[in-house]
Structure 1
Amino acid sequence: MKKAINYFSTVLLILFGFQALAQENEARDLDNFRYRDQRGIEQFEAKKDTATSFDGVKVRIGGAFAIQFQAIDHESTGTPVNSDGDPVSLIEIGSNFNLPTANLDLDVQLYDGVSMHLRTYLSSRHHPEPYVKGGYIQIDKLDFVSEGFMEDLMQNVRIKIGHMENNYGDAHFRRTDNALAIYNPFVGNLIMDAFTTEVGAEVYYFKSGFIGMLGVTNGKLNQGVDNPKKTDPSIVAKLGYDDYINDDLRLRLTGSVYHTNKSANAYLYSADRAGSRYYFVMEEEGASAKGNFTSGRFNPGLRNELTAFMINPFVKYQGLEFFGTYEMAKGKADAELETRTFNQYAAELIYRFGNNENLYVGGRYNLVDGEMAGGTEVDITRFNLAAGWFMTKNIMAKLEYTNQKYDGFLASDIRNGGKFDGVVFEAVISF
């Protein structure tokens, strides 16, 4: 533990050295974008505002950096064998720094009420080389057609088009997106990490706190014109309410659905090309950080038919906030005769305090259970404790304890009797 504390102290000194680079500059803010600093941690969809101040094309260059010190142990009673029939053990892991990750963001105000976003992963666990995540064009006004065109309708309507992060559920607004970890009060994302980027369009309607969204995508993560008969379009929809009841109390409740009737490979739970924060946990010997980039996560394997529902309540009273997730995913792979169902439950309780709520402590419980291909019933549980500090609006440090257990997996599965636990320090810059 003393070694870990020394490493963490070094990281803090490095962060303070970057402070001048990452100081908040509100003049760089653009209309109808989510803030990339502390102000964005309780934002979900970007604020809808047609009272823009456009005076020419503006480009905001931003980014994010993150580094972790990991001190986690893992164990298993599983007895898998390799192709030669020899037993396979868990890979040996120790305590040290993970590969630093970095994002590059380009946000552009193209016209009055029209903007563009593009994100590139400069370095990630799965792609150490630069890799374009995706981007979109966002339309909040139609003045490019003619001034005031459909002005009354566009007071409440937004259109997004692109190869983009689809707005299924609210958990993706609080997840870590490669180096963009400033929104996440914890280090890891949920066990069943619902996140995908597909080509499509989403239409939003905002009115007096109510939110409605309907979207359609081509159902593909990797774009191409091949396999034209293997994938149908996917439907994404959301309905909810988000408003302040009074100065101290905010309530948000949304329900979302993602549906694809036919897919060559439904990627909703495996689309993150950046990778898990828990490096090498529950991986077999010979694993690599790049090749085994989903450590600690779970993909239910509903590859070819998938319908998923997610309900998310969010309540904030002064400095105390609760965020919940209930998710049901139902579907199957082509080789299976019957559909299977997995459920996910998660509850986060965070208390923010200090100057401008720059400090927080919190806990999260996450449970996934369901039926594997072949009929085996399994469950995975995770418990997290975390504390964090926003040194400035752009710089934060957090410490997390994590404990994850696997139950019900076959004896031939490395996850049989599996468990990992330990601490992770993470330092984040976002601007």
Structure 2
Amino acid sequence: LAQANLYIDAQLAEGIRLHLANYMASKHHNEFWVKGGYLQIDKFPFKGKFWDDLSELVTVKAGHMEINYGDAHFRRPDGGHTLYSPFMEGNVMDAFATEIAGEVYVQKNGIFGMVGVSNGMIRGHVQEITTSPNDITARNPSIYLKGGVDKQVNEAIRLRLSGSWYHNTGTAGTGLTLYAGDRTGSNYTNVMEQWYTADGAAKALTAMYASGRFNPLYSGKLDAVMVNGFAKIQGFEFFGTAEFANGHTSAQTELRKTTQYAAEGIYRFGNNENLFAGIRYNIVNSEQVFGGNIEQIKVDRFAVGAGWFITKNILMKGEYVTQSYTDFPDTDYRHNGKFDGISLQAVIAF
């Protein structure tokens, strides 16, 4: 189950660079797949004090790219690139998507803010406009904001707190994909999956790529808020997530709520902190529609992991995980569902 990523970066001019990310092989796309890319401007190519001063504060990004909603997407594994992720998976409800977007950042002395606008979905295509669009057929852009503070207090202590908001009043077509945007796949391979369709046909393995994740099905309308906290004190590291979302599919009208909480503690030690061990807990409570009725369900995950950076480019890590599904109706295949086991992973990045 080897996965591989390829990144291409080009410095086009002073303060202007291009980034292109590619999946060479993944569980969802065995073939070469372009994840996305963007143009980033840190220094505006215009003369004058105004532009010099603006470049000190402002960064602009534009492209078909991984949008910057929340901080959890910085720590999640991304296909073959998992060197920076201490655990096998990100959050159960995985807020990650590549969208056609533009982002403007302002930052000074560790305080930062960002405003972004995107098309709200993975795909981008030209299509004839719908005559007299309504709430179901209209396509609306997503607006998202982020702000926070990131301080290196001293040599031993770093603190970060951020908040993000994502909003879309409705997007037709393929629908909103914030919680279903990954084109690679879960590292909990083929767990809690239906191997056959309703008519008995075997599913392709590439269709079972999101194993262990939970999609709240907000493809029609979505409002989401994520708050993240990070602290590193000597070798001790904490990262937490609190997320609150509501929305519905394009076929529904009633808003449903979902909450997610996640906390992880890591201890890094050894020569240049090349060893680490950690513990993680993640819980999702969500209102879902079953047979026309809205019911409250729960998914929770507990993981214990450890890793060894053999060199700065080579990592070996392992994890024990247990995950439970609670209050799903007996008509759903996840009713009283549970999986647990051990995963090992070797990572090379250069």
Contact in 2 for aligned 1:119/1:134 (Cα 8 Å) = yes
Q: Find the aligned partners of 2:328 and 2:194 in 1 and give their Cα distance.
A: 15
The structure that is strand-richer by fraction is: 2
Which residue in 1 is equivalent to 2:177? 267
Aligned runs of 1:65-76 on 2, under 5 Å? Answer: none
Which residue in 2 is equivalent to 1:280? 190
Post-superposition offset of 1:303: 1.1
Which residue in 2 is equivalent to 1:162? 63
Which residue in 2 is equivalent to 1:64? none
Which residue in 2 is equivalent to 1:345? 261
What percent identity do the matched residue pairs reach?
49
The partner residue of 1:317 within 229, 233, 236 is 233
Post-superposition offset of 1:246: 2.1
Post-superposition offset of 1:291: 1.1
Q: Secondary structure at the match of 2:207?
A: coil
Which residue in 1 is equivalent to 2:198? none
Structure 2: runs of 5+ lacking an equivalent: 131-137, 196-201
Question: Is 1:410 matched with 2:329?
Answer: yes
Which residue in 1 is equivalent to 2:88? 187
Contact in 2 for aligned 1:279/1:289 (Cα 8 Å) = no
The partner residue of 2:298 within 379, 391, 394 is 379
Deviation string for 1:276-334 (max 9, x for gaps)? 11111111233432011111100000111001100000011000010000001111123
Q: Secondary structure at the match of 2:73?
A: helix
Aligned runs of 1:197-276 on 2, under 5 Å? Answer: 197-226=98-127, 228-229=129-130, 230-264=138-172, 265-276=175-186
Structure 1: runs of 5+ lacking an equivalent: 1-98
Letter aligned with residue 239 of structure 1: G
Question: Is 1:333 matched with 2:249?
Answer: yes
Which residue in 1 is equivalent to 2:35? 133
Q: Find the aligned partners of 2:223 and 2:129 in 1 and give their Cα distance.
A: 21
Q: Find the aligned partners of 2:5 and 2:180 in 1 and give their Cα distance.
A: 20
Structure 1 length normalisation: TM-score? Answer: 0.75
Q: Find the aligned partners of 1:386 and 1:178 in 2 and give their Cα distance.
A: 19
Which residue in 1 is equivalent to 2:47? 146
Contact in 2 for aligned 1:328/1:343 (Cα 8 Å) = yes
Q: Find the aligned partners of 1:148 and 1:430 in 2 and give their Cα distance.
A: 40
Post-superposition offset of 1:149: 6.0
Cα 1:260–1:355 change in 2 (3 A) is same
Letter aligned with residue 106 of structure 2: Y
Q: Find the aligned partners of 2:107 and 2:182 in 1 and give their Cα distance.
A: 29
Cα 1:349–1:221 change in 2 (3 A) is same
Q: Find the aligned partners of 2:217 and 2:39 in 1 and give their Cα distance.
A: 32
Q: Find the aligned partners of 2:203 and 2:337 in 1 and give their Cα distance.
A: 17
Contact in 2 for aligned 1:359/1:389 (Cα 8 Å) = yes
Q: Secondary structure at the match of 2:264?
A: strand
RMSD after superposition: 1.2
Structure 2 length normalisation: TM-score? Answer: 0.93
Contact in 2 for aligned 1:124/1:274 (Cα 8 Å) = yes
Deviation string for 1:373-401 (max 9, x for gaps)? 23111000000000001111111010000
Q: Find the aligned partners of 1:147 and 1:403 in 2 and give their Cα distance.
A: 58
Question: Is 1:354 matched with 2:261?
Answer: no
Post-superposition offset of 1:147: 6.9
Cα 1:105–1:148 change in 2 (3 A) is farther
Contact in 2 for aligned 1:326/1:345 (Cα 8 Å) = yes
Which residue in 1 is equivalent to 2:79? 178
Deviation string for 1:215-254 (max 9, x for gaps)? 1112231110126453201011101000022221111000
Deviation string for 1:104-151 (max 9, x for gaps)? 110111100000100110000010000000000000001x33376610
Contact in 2 for aligned 1:217/1:235 (Cα 8 Å) = yes
Deviation string for 1:72-104 (max 9, x for gaps)? xxxxxxxxxxxxxxxxxxxxxxxxxxx200011
Post-superposition offset of 1:189: 1.6
Deviation string for 1:20-69 (max 9, x for gaps)? xxxxxxxxxxxxxxxxxxxxxxxxxxxxxxxxxxxxxxxxxxxxxxxxxx
Contact in 1 for aligned 2:170/2:250 (Cα 8 Å) = no
Aligned runs of 1:20-31 on 2, under 5 Å? Answer: none
Contact in 2 for aligned 1:350/1:362 (Cα 8 Å) = yes
Q: Which has the higher contact order (CA 8 A, sep 6+)?
A: 1
